[in-house]
């Protein structure tokens, strides 16, 4: 078989790998399950694409978001991999049937954990040759599994049913505990390939504001002054939508909201407009960003406090993929930690609810999120005591993670050092291009991120006949 570098040149036209890619591929070529923790923008998808090119059989990719699946299928086809498909809730019945009838001819197949866990799908997959199982955004096993998308917790058992295919786990951030949990849930002892999460070109800034009104005013000021495009993250879908409209009206920018409350078509259109620089600002919830490969994002602002440093690292990593100066700004008002606390508890049933449900499951409405979650565990034979322990442990983990996030926000010294500690990394020496903790002002000019004044081009009057001719 030709060398990895020769395959890279043949398929993608690159003469050398990015950091971490070759090490992950070498591990897979040696037949080892591999956990690759590579920073956002490091080209993680190339790893399984190149492996799929070099080996017969189907690469099965478990992906968390519908828009991410469809985007990755389109990119594969653009790169010459025509035998790629995705099955999800948006796939029309006829197309789904056609894909299932030709599974043995596919080179790449994308599924959600929910779709993969369906018995009919598993039966079909057991009949084909899987060259590689990929768990994309593997941190979702920990962040989403216990109390949001419990199907992630079935992946280990599913992997067993598929005869334990060679497995690649991909994520941009994972501390020691997250790595341990990923391996435990997938019933694997993977080789770990990791690169630093540090992005030296992203300036870190935390700003304390007095209240909500001051925070809004500061956001407006930053959006006017910073070079674009940029992303503003919110924990509230409604506030993301309201703020996008408000910024359009008051800051002279083109902005749109992106969150799970929009239908798939609207999300796709907004994503494409942002990718093609038709939007200056995306006001988003955490639903936006996974797999988005846009290299010129100049800033990421967090309007609301993230729940943990791993999520924060994922989201700020969407800035500055081109290596140019960028900035991550977190706006913090007293009491902001109450929102992630409330959101973390909203889908987590109390011990009393668990006890009442297990005693009389038929008396509860199954469409309530908490009851749907409990029904999942009960249907899979998880005892009441085990579920109570699971949620008690989950609450402790979330509270601990939020405490780390608050420590970062309140740090009077180097923010990068505080941030990297969570990933067991030593920070480089602090300098003026590193960060501005909460007690230091942000100087955009000093970090070369001040919006350049642009003189508008003179308006040229075009005769109506010529305008009409251009239209047709």
- Phi, psi of 205, rounded to the nearest 5 degrees: -140, 135
219-269 residue pLDDT tens: 999 999 999 999 999 998 999 999 999 999 999 899 999 987 888 788 878
What local confidence, expressed as pLDDT, does residue 189 receive?
95
For residue 456, what pLDDT band results from cuts at 50, 70 and 90?
very low
DSSP state of 432: T
Is the model's pLDDT at 468 over the cut of 90?
Answer: no
264 or 183, which is more confident?
183
Distance CA 185, CA 309 (A): 22
Distances (CA, A) of 402 to 10, 172, 425: 46, 19, 19
For residue 395, what pLDDT band results from cuts at 50, 70 and 90?
confident
92 or 333, which is more confident?
333
Closest CA to 116 of 74, 77, 71, 162: 162
Is the model's pLDDT at 75 over the cut of 50?
Answer: yes
Give yes or no for a cis peptide into 229 (omega within 30° of 0): yes
Torsion angle in degrees (nearest 10) through CA of 108, 22, 289, 187? 70
Give the pairing of strands 84-87 and 255-258. Answer: unpaired
424 or 168, which is more confident?
168
Is the model's pLDDT at 397 over the cut of 60?
Answer: yes
Is the model's pLDDT at 174 over the cut of 90?
Answer: no
Which CATH number is associated with domain 4-194?
3.40.50.300
Overall average pLDDT of the 8-34 stretch: 94
What local confidence, expressed as pLDDT, does residue 458 receive?
41
Overall average pLDDT of the 287-292 stretch: 65
For residue 331, what pLDDT band results from cuts at 50, 70 and 90?
very high
169 or 347, which is more confident?
169
Is the model's pLDDT at 356 over the cut of 50?
Answer: yes
Domain ranges of the chain: 4-194, 201-227+298-456
Work out the angle at residue 397's Cα, subtended by the Cα atoms of residues 396 and 398, and round it to the nearest 5 degrees.
Answer: 95
Overall average pLDDT of the 343-366 stretch: 85
What local confidence, expressed as pLDDT, does residue 404 receive?
92
Distance CA 66, CA 266 (A): 13
Overall average pLDDT of the 3-14 stretch: 93
What local confidence, expressed as pLDDT, does residue 471 receive?
46
Is the model's pLDDT at 465 over the cut of 50?
Answer: yes
For residue 438, what pLDDT band results from cuts at 50, 70 and 90?
confident
Is the model's pLDDT at 466 over the cut of 70?
Answer: no
Residue pair 218/243 in contact (Cβ under 8 Å)? The answer is no
Distance CA 241, CA 234 (A): 10
For residue 460, what pLDDT band results from cuts at 50, 70 and 90?
very low
Overall average pLDDT of the 56-63 stretch: 95
Distance CA 248, CA 451 (A): 17
Neighbours of 450 (CB within 10 A): 13
Is the model's pLDDT at 132 over the cut of 90?
Answer: yes
For residue 291, what pLDDT band results from cuts at 50, 70 and 90?
low
What local confidence, expressed as pLDDT, does residue 122 receive?
93
What local confidence, expressed as pLDDT, does residue 467 receive?
52
Distance CA 46, CA 42 (A): 9
Distance CA 287, CA 258 (A): 8
Give one word for 275, left, alpha or beta, with left for phi > 0 and alpha for psi -120 to 50. Answer: alpha
The overall average pLDDT reported for the chain is: 87
Overall average pLDDT of the 277-284 stretch: 93
Is the model's pLDDT at 462 over the cut of 70?
Answer: no
Distances (CA, A) of 345 to 141, 234, 350: 18, 18, 9
79-118 residue pLDDT tens: 889 899 998 877 888 888 899 989 999 999 999 888 999 9
192-215 residue pLDDT tens: 999 888 999 999 999 999 999 999
For residue 394, what pLDDT band results from cuts at 50, 70 and 90?
confident
Closest CA to 117 of 83, 76, 145, 98: 145
């Amino acid at each position: 078989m030709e060398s990895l570098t020769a395959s890279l040149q043949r398929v993608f036209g690159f003469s050398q790998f990015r950091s971490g890619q070759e090490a992950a591929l070498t591990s897979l070529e040696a037949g080892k399950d591999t956990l690759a923790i590579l920073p956002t923008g490091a080209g993680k998808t190339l790893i399984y694409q190149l492996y799929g090119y070099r080996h017969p059989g189907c690469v099965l990719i478990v992906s968390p978001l519908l828009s991410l699946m469809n985007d990755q299928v389109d990119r594969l086809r653009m790169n010459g991999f025509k035998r790629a498909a995705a099955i999800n809730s948006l796939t029309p019945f006829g197309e789904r049937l056609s894909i299932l009838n030709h599974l043995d001819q596919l080179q790449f197949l994308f599924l959600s954990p929910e779709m993969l866990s369906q018995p009919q799908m598993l039966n079909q997959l057991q009949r084909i040759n899987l060259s590689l199982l990929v768990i994309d955004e593997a941190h979702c096993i920990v962040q989403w599994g216990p109390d949001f998308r419990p199907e992630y917790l079935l992946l280990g058992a599913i992997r067993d049913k598929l005869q334990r295919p060679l497995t690649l786990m991909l994520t941009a951030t994972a501390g020691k505990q997250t790595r341990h949990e990923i391996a435990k849930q997938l019933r694997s002892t993977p080789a770990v390939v990791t690169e630093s999460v540090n992005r030296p070109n992203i300036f870190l800034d935390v700003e304390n504001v007095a209240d909500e009104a001051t925070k809004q005013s500061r956001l407006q000021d930053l959006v006017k002054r910073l070079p674009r495009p940029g992303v503003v993250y919110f924990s509230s879908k409604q506030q993301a939508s309201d703020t996008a409209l408000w910024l359009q009206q008051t800051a002279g920018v083109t902005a749109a909201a992106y969150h799970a409350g929009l239908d798939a078509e609207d999300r796709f259109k907004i994503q494409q407009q942002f990718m093609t620089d038709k939007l200056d600002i995306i006001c988003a919830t955490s639903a936006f960003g996974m797999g988005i490969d846009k290299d010129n994002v100049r800033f990421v602002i967090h309007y609301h406090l993230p729940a943990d440093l791993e999520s924060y690292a994922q989201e700020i990593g969407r800035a500055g993929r081109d290596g140019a100066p960028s900035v991550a700004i977190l706006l913090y008002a007293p009491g902001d930690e109450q929102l992630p606390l409330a959101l973390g508890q909203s889908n987590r049933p109390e011990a009393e609810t668990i006890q009442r449900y297990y005693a009389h499951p038929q008396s509860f409405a199954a469409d309530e999120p908490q009851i749907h979650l409990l029904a999942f565990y009960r249907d899979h034979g998880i005892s009441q005591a085990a579920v109570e322990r699971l949620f008690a442990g989950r609450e402790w983990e979330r509270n601990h993670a939020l405490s780390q996030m608050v420590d970062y926000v309140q740090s009077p010294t180097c923010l990068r050092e505080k941030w990297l500690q969570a990933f067991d990394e030593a920070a480089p020496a602090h300098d003026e291009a590193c960060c501005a903790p909460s007690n230091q002002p942000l100087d955009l000019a000093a970090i070369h991120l001040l919006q350049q004044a642009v003189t508008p081009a003179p308006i040229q009057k075009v005769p109506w006949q010529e305008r009409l001719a251009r239209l047709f």
